[in-house]
Structure 1
Amino acid sequence: MTRLPRPLAPCLLVLAASLLGATVSAQSAIPYQGVLTDTDGAPLTGSVELTFMLWDAPTGGTPTWGETQTVTLDDGVFSVQLGAEDSFDPDEFDRPLYLGVSVDGGDELPRIPLGAAGTALGLRFPVAGTNATNAPALQISNTGSGFGIAVSGDGVGAVTAAGAGAESIGLLATAAGTGAAVSAVNMGNGPAGVFRVSGASSDEAALVASTEGTGPALSVATTNTGTVEPALTVRTAGNGAIGFEARHDGEAGFAGAFIIDDPDFVGSPLYAQSNAESASVLAVSGGDGPAVGAFANEGGTGLVAQRATTSGSGHVAEFVDPTDDNAEAAVVITAETQTTAVPALLVEHGGRGTAGRFEITSTAGIGTGLYARTIGPGVALHGTTSGSGTLAVGTWAHAASGSDAVPLRVSQDGTGDDIAVFQATTGVNQARIDRLGVGYFNGGVQSSGADVAEAFAVEGPVEAYAPGDVLVISTRTNRTVEKSAEAYSSLVVGVYATRPGLVLTERGIDDDLDDLVPMGVVGVLPTKVTAENGPIRRGDLLVTAATPGHAMRADPAALRVGVVLGKALEPFDGDGSGLIRVLVNAK
């Protein structure tokens, strides 16, 4: 025995809904589709004979119409046109009717309610139909003020439209007036409309909106003033998929515009939040234009990036250029205001961190962490502190070991006299460096070193010398020094400086000094000494010793002009040699 389960839902409800307003004539037919299975649910195959009867009661009653059709089952599926063999009498549809079906002369299956009094042809069971022409399978016109079609349902879908052809449209709605072609209203708690592409291999959009007029293709609005929910929510579950994409194929305009019309509104036109390790907003430009353009027409801010919570470790905003051959900047900010000196970029920090940080994280990077340039009379880089901070402008370089990264580079390509000017009060210079490299400091100079040294060439390899060596003038080579090698030498001039506070040289500031030694000529220098002329006490005059590169206590009776190296600041009375601090001032 066979049974008739519920018909195929994906394509039945649309046709059933479309027939609500149809007029029954002598040629009218009701499309009907179903599936025949055995008692175990397996679909039947082959040909069967189906008998259809219309009754005036759900059981018993009197038949009002009937016909028999032979159908061929396709995996259990059959499609028929009720009324194709024996047409309907339209007058019979002014009352509730019930459809009974029997298979191969068997018992009639439970009857299906067909309609109710007052409906033209109101089908309340799923039906389906086919149309092999280019004309609509069903066309409904409405000249009144009501709905051309109204559908309700308690099942999975009240309306379902399916287009089986390669270019067919499942549902086409057209409006010639000012009203909407499609209006979806949900009186309950569910969504008003759902658009879904169920094919896993499909690359088409679930919703396509286009307009040939001057209005927007898609308008989304929330009219409930008490809601805090967004007017539009876009979600994607794909890996790497884009939740929202706006494209512009014209020659001008914007792919997306977010506007707040209310001047008293305090919110943001665009709000983006990411709860994962990904960017809240990702903007990509495939052409010559900018990926992001932010504009403020009045006193507002064109772009605001703010963390939504008080905790988190991600970036509030991130601009990345992944291309290798692009010579343009990842971010360009321009201020075209001519009447006021407003900044193009203002970075503020209300906490304890850094307001702005510019880094080159690639060890192969040869660019500049922060580049500031002006072609006008203004300052390329200006830093001001109004609080208790110690630096108005702080710069640094974060580089791998062995890198030659430069923390701060300032270039003067104009006609100005100075490369850098430092002011404690606006308009009052406290320090400056002119274009020739001369430094001027109102408050003096303080260095962590304790001596003044000058770079000198040495006799022999420079590796043979070490800090603390007592040095004398070479008698063999001009402007060259060597280790002292005799007592009371009048050629003594200084000591190999350990950490000089100032190094003088005749070479340029970019020249290498590795082949020279910094000889301290005045100041406090750690000096190699020996007790070969007796213990050294604080304040003793020191002269060269017979031990090479060392100093010793001077015998006052043996002193003469030009042999004194300096005065001892620490005692030494040990055996061999030692290292003490000496106030060097050869004379």
Structure 2
Amino acid sequence: METPETITIQLPSFITRLRRRGREGWQRLGRRLLPTPGNVLFTLLMIGLLLWAQSAGALPLRLLGPNVPSTNTIAYQGRLADAGGSPLTGTYNIIFRLYNAASGGAPLWEEQWTGQNGVQVSDGLFNVMLGSLTPIPQAVVTGNNTLWLGITVGTDDEMAPRVQLGSVPFAVQALTVPDGSVTTEKIADQAVTQAKLGPDVNLVPPDGSITTAKLADGAVTEPKLGVRLPRLLGQKTCDGCGQPIESNQFDWVSVKGANAQDIIEVTATTQGGVVMVLMTSRHSLSPVAEPWCGISVLQGVPKSALRAWKQTNARTGTDIGCSVSYVFADLPPGTYTFRAMGYVYPATQIKWWYQRQVAVFEY
């Protein structure tokens, strides 16, 4: 019975001690979190040291150079040391040059990092963006298979040997099209529009600039002309091919060629255009009669005469020379026979000889 009583008496005092210890612990933790004068001085000292180290070049540096497109520059990192090989730290005037030879030759490009643009060197290391101050001409990269970099520090002579550049600068060439590389095969049809042409380009040739020498043979076709050219539909010629004789002939008779059955005529298909027919005939009459000549147009099977035209001839005694031309402006499209004709009256003998011809043209 004494033990329970002892527990009841001591429990409140135990809780009181726990509460007192808890408050003391939080007070000690708060004192630890609050900065002391020594902590403040140490923090300020470290900040000052970091700022001094960066201004003195003791910290790693970013690539130097203004903000320019990376496609126009070449990133270069180098190491600078004194004659004894000890790395240097500080700001130095450096001149960079590009050559197409390992030694000698004139520089293709030059960039001066001097004055305010001096190169910051930290423990011998420096980084620059070549071309950020003086742009590198595209022709320098695209026009040379190999490039060497020459470096001059301060008033010293250019360092030797020169540094051969790798493939990085030549990657710029992939972003450009070399001169003369765009051939006809590479240009798509209708790719060159008027908008792509400069104001000094005129596709209309000046008046009188197209001379005969500039025209290729066969270049001027009928569609290129403003007028329709005559098209030969057919022709038949007998010049001394035979001298058939026909007796007791009168009225309209067909002009003959090699024999009495060989008629001087042309069968042709028209397209509805204007048709011009030419005929000529030479023959003799015995006895002399009144001669005429003309052109007969026939169509169908059997052929039926659509129309015939006649014209007086030239005559020297019994020797007759005759020539006729006629333009048919109203022939519908179709197939026709154009026949050379002669006319005599009264009845007489005809001897066909020398030039006999009929020719048909359509416009």
Q: Same fold (TM over 0.5)?
A: no
**More strand as a share of residues:** 2
**More helix as a share of residues:** 2
Larger radius of gyration: 2
Q: Give the TM-score of the pair, scaled to structure 1.
A: 0.19
Query: Relative contact order (C-alpha < 8 Å, sep 6+): which is higher?
Result: 2
